Structure 1
Amino acid sequence: MEENGSLASAMQDLGFKQVELADAVNDHLRAQGHEGTVGDRTVRNWLTGKSRWPHRRQREALETLFACTAEDLGFSPPARRRCTSTPPEDPVDRRNFLTAAFAVPQVGAPVAVGTSDVIRLGSGLDALMALDDTQGGHEDLERAALAGAAEALAKQKLAATQRIRKRLYAVAADYTATAAWSALDARRCNQARMLLGQAHYLAGMAQDSVVELRVWNSFAMLAHQRGQYGEAVDSAQAAQAATITRRDPFFASLAHARTAVGHSTLGDRQSALRSLGCAQEALDKAQPRPRPSWVTFYGPAELAAITSIVRDRIGDFAEAEAASHRALSGIPTPFLRNRAMATARLALAQLHQRDIEQACATASTVFQLMAGHSLCGRLRSLLCDFYRDLTTLVPEARVAREWEDRYRSEWS
């Protein structure tokens, strides 16, 4: 019985343990309306070679998770199922991230897919990003994004031209990156990493440098969540290298700002401030033009919010507070999650200046802003940072105990 080294290597590349892969396969199966019955023993049988050809639905889930065929993962069908008369399908054509919720059943001969179909599919991203702006990342948004990716991939084999095929790959990459961002915002790190890997692959197929930059930007944020701060800087610098940054300084500004955050976390004050300066200079050069909906959050107000993060981490607390005020004066009202994040950052900057009562009052407004909405994982984590620093600085203060008593159940 020969061990499956290909699957083991693929799992290692994406950071999957046996139980984590089993959970991911089950999540995929349930999303398509099937029962999730895969356990770590099943995965162990795949790895040891005891099971050489998983059930069809399990194979499809594995192909989705790893963005390659079952054969590429080291599996082989029984001899009686091999067929040499039918040419193999394009592995990407067979990808099915979720049941295509938006798909229309084909009746009769297939109709060639053209530009209007690409535009229709892409327009669905705008609605998802508007939902993210208000509520932040959550599983319903992730499922809807994966359904959009599935439809784009299902249609690309019917594309009228190679150019349309590439555009559909780009749409699928954008939807997948949106799903990854939702998982990232919810701090579901393993799921985010898996989806970002898929989005990066699809962006490469599309040769779309805008989506490539988006993916590297998210990789930088993911690395920070995982405590891999050097990797966060490397990912942000990979975003800087994307082709789009040479054509549009707006995207270059975003990449420099993300690099600044990474440097500040590592305590590299000079590099952090230099990157902030580059971000501001690039943003000053950017001209108004149509850009994807996922990047509408970025501009002078968001750069001010990022400046607050950087300044706070390098110990410039008064400058961090001032930057947070600038951010809050410019972040559009519909961007509730971003306003709440900037408010929490303002509270931290005030706290680090020992303005305890004002900091607690500011942190309290986060819950008012998000009234009626669940707090996303990143926002909960930020409030946890606030509470940790609060109890460290003034463990016996009455205002600290009152803040904990009132809001602990909401942010935890």
Structure 2
Amino acid sequence: MENIRNVVLEAWMTEHGYSSNSLAEAVNKATEQLSGRPGGHDGSSVRGWKSGRVRWPKSLTRAALEDVTGLSAIALGFVPRGRPAPAPVPPQQQEEDPDMKRRTLVGGLAAAAVSTTAPSSTSTRRIGMSDVSRLNERFAGIVVSDHRHGGQLGIEQEAAALAEEALDLQNAGSATQRVRSGLYASAAAFRSSAMWAAIDGRRYEVAKAHMREAQALAELSGDQTIKFRIWSHAGTMYRHLGRPAEALAANDVARNLHLTRRDPLFASLGHARQAATLGLTGDAPAVRHALGCAEDAFVRADSSLARPVWMTGARDGAELETLALAAHLRLGDFARAEAHAHRSLRLLRPQMQRDRAINTARLAYAQLAQGAAEAAAATAMGVPTDAATHHARVSHLLHGFGAALRAAAPGSTTVRAWAEHAATGLRGA
């Protein structure tokens, strides 16, 4: 029997903001409430429901789904064993009762699924590298959005949805192993962007869930560049959480990939991220050594090689300066931090607005720590209002800056000027 895609379930998930992973987690929790034992579903289970590979889940799973959605399994587009898909209800038989209207609509959607998604018995769609290329173009768009806005829930959700789309293609037709690896790499890339958006938005528990799926997909793909990105992001996440041991371990996974021996630019980025984490430990010699290794590798890197779009900041040295800034701030070496901040701001490309806002806020910290309260306040006021109010990390930095400014110069005109600025343009800063 050919698989018939469950467009009804897909429509419900889209309407209610569920990914395959989040629906699986909700069903597992509902299963535990019903039976006393947690369910064992994951994202692949839900993808099986959506693809039609599983047309009628087990009874406990159906009960859990009904608890989560408030709809019966049949209303969700599932078809009992041995029963044909429902036909649409003729218009003259429809009642005005709202529940009847809903049942009619769902039945019609299920019938539409049969007529529009059932594959031909004489041909099978061929999935090719053009499909992978199309996904990669959309991934580039996600990265551009991240550079401009960063940390936004909408970016996270869009990236997660595109990861699901890439995985859905695995079941949409025949493909070579190269194409399948490319689809897994695309799915891992999108999931890593969802992970990064959650980290950037300080939604760390959600980021961990994205990380686990991204790591599994990266292993399926065999793509070392996306493995490097995911483990580097994991290191950054643990650094932001103040857990240096786990951050250093995650960074080591990235730095030990064969890719870093083949391309010095990846080695440079790995060393620089390690330096930023070492700043948490207070080990100044280790920070200087890691940054020295990063600078040496950066000089050796071939600028003519094609690199992933997410390495834009690494290619021109801006990310190296950004990470050096973070490391020296953590060490309390504020003069060096200020120097790296100025260099990073010169190197950042215009579209990298998120990084510019963060580094401007960090520069203000470095200036304040050196006793230049007035200059620091002026720098902090230069952070665009949109970033200051809509980006979680920028807001967090400016909130801390405001507290430090009040402690350093209580009752001063500078503090009053900052208070007025915060009241009019920076909610909570």
From 182, 186, 192, give the equivalent of 1:171. 186
From 77, 96, 103, give the equivalent of 2:58. 77
**Same amino acid, percent of matched pairs:** 32
Partner of 1:315: 332
From 256, 272, 277, give the equivalent of 1:257. 272
Deviation at 1:65, TM superposition (A): 9.2
In 1: Cα distance, 2:169 partner to 2:28 partner: 32
Residues 1:291 and 2:307 are matched in the alignment: yes
Provide closer, same or farther for how the CA distance between residues 137 and 46 of structure 1 changes in structure 2, counting only shifts above 3 A. same
**1:339-394 Cα distance to aligned partner (Å, 9 max, x none):** 111111111110110100000000000025x47x8531111122122223222322
From 34, 50, 68, give the equivalent of 2:35. 50
Partner of 1:89: none
In 2: Cα distance, 1:256 partner to 1:106 partner: 51
In 2: Cα distance, 1:146 partner to 1:308 partner: 31
Secondary structure of the 1:396 match is: coil
Partner of 2:54: none
Partner of 1:342: 359
Residues 1:276 and 2:261 are matched in the alignment: no
Secondary structure of the 1:32 match is: helix
Provide closer, same or farther for how the CA distance between residues 401 and 49 of structure 1 changes in structure 2, counting only shifts above 3 A. same
Counterpart amino acid of 1:410?
A: L
From 145, 149, 162, give the equivalent of 1:135. 149
**Alignment check: 8 A CA contact 1:67 1:198 kept:** no
**Alignment check: 8 A CA contact 2:157 2:194 kept:** yes
In 2: Cα distance, 1:41 partner to 1:282 partner: 46
When the two chains are superposed, the root-mean-square deviation of aligned CA atoms in Å is 3.4
Deviation at 1:229, TM superposition (A): 2.0
Give the TM-score normalised by structure 2. Answer: 0.74
**Alignment check: 8 A CA contact 2:27 2:61 kept:** no
In 2: Cα distance, 1:265 partner to 1:65 partner: 38
From 28, 32, 55, give the equivalent of 2:14. 32
How many residue pairs match? The answer is 352
In 1: Cα distance, 2:151 partner to 2:117 partner: 30
**Alignment check: 8 A CA contact 1:305 1:324 kept:** yes
Secondary structure of the 2:151 match is: coil
Deviation at 1:143, TM superposition (A): 1.8
Residues 1:122 and 2:122 are matched in the alignment: no
In 2: Cα distance, 1:220 partner to 1:66 partner: 29
Counterpart amino acid of 2:230?
A: V
**Alignment check: 8 A CA contact 1:66 1:198 kept:** no
Q: 1:105-254 residue pairs with structure 2 within 5 A?
A: 108=120, 109-157=123-171, 158-254=173-269
Q: 1:332-411 residue pairs with structure 2 within 5 A?
A: 332-367=349-384, 370=386, 374-408=389-423, 410-411=426-427
Counterpart amino acid of 1:247?
A: R
Instruction: Give the number of the structure whose alpha-carbon radius of gyration is greater.
Output: 2
Give the TM-score normalised by structure 1. Answer: 0.77
Partner of 1:63: 42
Residues 1:305 and 2:322 are matched in the alignment: yes
Provide closer, same or farther for how the CA distance between residues 31 and 188 of structure 1 changes in structure 2, counting only shifts above 3 A. farther
Q: Point out where structure 2 has 5 or more consecutive residues left out of the alignment.
A: 1-9, 50-56, 63-79, 83-115
In 1: Cα distance, 2:45 partner to 2:234 partner: 17
**Alignment check: 8 A CA contact 2:159 2:193 kept:** yes
In 2: Cα distance, 1:132 partner to 1:194 partner: 19
Counterpart amino acid of 1:342?
A: N
